[in-house]
């Protein structure tokens, strides 16, 4: 009689064991966990992810901020197996000052499901992240192609020895009907690093303004900090009650019809960029100023400030990938500012200077 082999089960789930945890130090996450791997469970690459969410996770896609991620290569055991993880990895911290629910999730990157979450563990205590943040009021005032960004103060609440990364005060536009996290940076000014337990007062800077496309937008002031792992990361955010609305350019017919109509009463509002005036909250002190139109630059040069993806990609020395990075990094103070675009070095800047304009 031939002995029967027990059925090999490969559909049993991987479970997170009772021992697991995390801690955050500056921009790094330390994660430890035990995974109970059933016999003959197919070994492959998994993703261990630490998330900060609004509510404890239950099911479906993970939503919130992915704070840290580790790649796991689990084996295919012939018996019950415990796989231990104790690692340090770069952390991407969410906005400071808010209480988040934390969840550790084992994710299958190749899953066909909407989430791919195979196992998870919610932590009972909420997490508040400490990072440089805005203090007092913030405002902006648009003056033609420039905008004045203002903040009453910036505070770094970390330990005295914890010097912040380079900070950036940024004005962003978010589509009114789109996600609150997918927007366009309109302006930015770089700010000095702030020591821990210190305050930087009265920030005011006049910088280039990059107008968004046609549409209606919600506006927000962001404080971002430079990190080695992720570049600039948002640390604090203030949303304005007003909206920015940019209308489509007038057609030739509408311009002719308007020119043939009787002259309107003398109102100086027409000298101001009306669509930009809608952008400013009523509490702001300054109004937009009329600007003298500068001579048009040579049509053969592509603008790094307003050029489309296709136009930038056609510039000799650039490609589609670099064009996308240029658009992400807008606005620019000068052509030399292209050096901060990911993938562009000084040689590339020198090579394309005669082919592009601000």
Tell me: pLDDT of 75 over 60: yes
Q: What is the pLDDT of residue 59?
A: 86
pLDDT the model gives residue 283: 33
Highest mean pLDDT: which of 173-187, 198-212, 240-254? 198-212
**For the chain, how far is it from start to end, CA to CA, in angstroms?**
85
Supply the pLDDT for residue 205: 93
* pLDDT, tens digit, 9 for 90 and up, residues 115-133: 689 899 999 999 998 889 9
Mean predicted confidence (pLDDT) in 104-118: 79
pLDDT of residue 179: 65
**How high is the pLDDT of residue 296?**
40
At residue 290, the pLDDT reads: 31
Stretch 98-127: mean pLDDT: 86
Least confident of 7-21, 36-50, 94-108, 187-201: 7-21
Tokens of 224: 């971002």
pLDDT band, very low/low/confident/very high, at 255 (cuts 50, 70, 90): very low
Residues 44 and 74: beta-carbon distance below 8 Å: yes
DSSP state of 340: G
The answer for residues whose C-beta is within 8 angstroms of residue 297's C-beta and 6 or more apart is 303, 357
Q: Following DSSP, what letter does each residue of 252-318 receive, concatenated? A: HHHHHHHHHSPPPP--GGGGS-HHHHTTS-TT--------PPPPPPPTTSEETTT--HHHHHTSBTB
Task: Give tens-digit pLDDT for 290-344.
Answer: 333 333 444 468 888 888 887 888 888 888 888 888 888 888 878 888 888 888 8
Residue 168 vs residue 310, higher pLDDT? 168
The predicted pLDDT at position 250 comes to 61
**7 pLDDT higher than 60:** no
- Its CATH architecture, for the domain 302-357, is Orthogonal Bundle (1.10)
Residue 252, pLDDT > 60, answer no
**pLDDT higher for 260 or 310?**
310
| Architecture per CATH, 15-128 | Sandwich (2.60)
- Three-state SS for 24-92 is EECCEEEEEEEEEECCCCCCCEEEEEEEEECCCCCCCCCCCEEEEEEEEECCCCCCCEEEEEEEEEECC
Question: Highest mean pLDDT range out of 204-218, 239-253, 271-285, 344-358?
Answer: 204-218
Instruction: State the CATH architecture for 133-246.
Output: Sandwich (2.60)
Mean pLDDT value across residues 190-212: 92
Q: What are the residue boundaries of the structural domains of the chain, listed by start?
A: 15-128, 133-246, 302-357
pLDDT at 224 over 90: yes
Does 302-357 match 133-246 at the fold level? Answer: no
* Six token digits for residue 230: 């992720």
Rg of the Cα trace of the chain? 26
CA-based max dimension of the chain:
107
Q: pLDDT at residue 264 above 50?
A: no
Examine the pLDDT at 20 and tell me if it is beyond 50: yes
d(CA 258, CA 255): 5
For the chain, what percent of residues have pLDDT higher than 90?
Answer: 34
CA atoms within 13 A on the CB side of 129: 27
pLDDT in tens, 179-188: 666 789 999 9
Mean model confidence pLDDT for the chain? 79
Is 7 in a helix, a strand, or coil? coil
* Segment 237-262 mean pLDDT: 68
Contacts of 22 (CB under 8 A, 6+ apart): 29, 30, 31, 32, 50, 68, 102, 104, 123
- Span 60-80, mean pLDDT? 87
On whether the CB atoms of residues 133 and 142 are closer than 8 A, the answer is no
pLDDT at 268: 23
């Amino acid at each position: 009689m031939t002995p029967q082999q027990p059925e090999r089960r490969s559909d049993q789930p991987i479970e997170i064991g009772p021992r697991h945890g995390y801690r955050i130090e500056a921009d790094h996450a330390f994660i430890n966990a035990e995974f109970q791997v059933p016999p003959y469970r197919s070994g492959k690459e998994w993703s261990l992810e630490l998330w900060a969410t609004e509510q404890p996770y239950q099911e479906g896609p993970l939503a919130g901020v992915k704070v840290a991620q580790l790649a796991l290569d689990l084996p295919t055991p012939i018996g019950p197996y415990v796989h231990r993880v104790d690692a340090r990895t770069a952390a991407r911290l969410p906005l400071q000052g808010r209480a988040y629910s934390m969840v550790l999730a084992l994710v299958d990157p190749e899953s066909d499901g909407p989430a791919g979450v195979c196992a998870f563990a919610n932590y009972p205590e909420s997490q508040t992240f400490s990072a440089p943040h805005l203090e007092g009021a913030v405002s902006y005032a648009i003056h033609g192609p420039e905008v004045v960004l203002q903040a009453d103060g910036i505070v770094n609440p970390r330990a005295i020895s914890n010097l912040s990364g380079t900070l950036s005060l940024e004005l962003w536009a978010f589509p009114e009907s789109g996600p609150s996290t997918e927007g366009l940076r309109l302006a930015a000014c770089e700010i000095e690093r702030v020591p821990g337990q210190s305050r930087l007062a009265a920030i005011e800077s006049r910088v280039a303004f990059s107008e968004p496309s046609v549409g209606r937008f919600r506006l927000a002031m962001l404080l971002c900090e430079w990190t080695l792992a992720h570049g600039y990361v948002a640390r604090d955010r203030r949303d304005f009650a007003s909206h920015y609305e940019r209308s489509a350019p007038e057609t030739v017919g509408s311009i002719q019809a308007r020119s043939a109509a009787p002259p309107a009463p003398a109102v100086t509002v027409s000298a101001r960029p009306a669509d930009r005036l809608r952008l400013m909250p009523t509490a702001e002190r300054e109004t937009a100023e009329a600007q003298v139109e500068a001579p048009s630059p040579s049509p053969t040069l592509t603008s790094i400030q307003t050029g489309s993806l296709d136009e930038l990609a056609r510039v000799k020395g650039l490609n589609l990938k670099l064009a996308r990075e240029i658009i992400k990094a807008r606005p620019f103070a000068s052509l030399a500012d292209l050096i901060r675009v990911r993938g562009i070095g000084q040689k590339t800047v020198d090579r394309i200077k005669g082919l592009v304009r601000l």
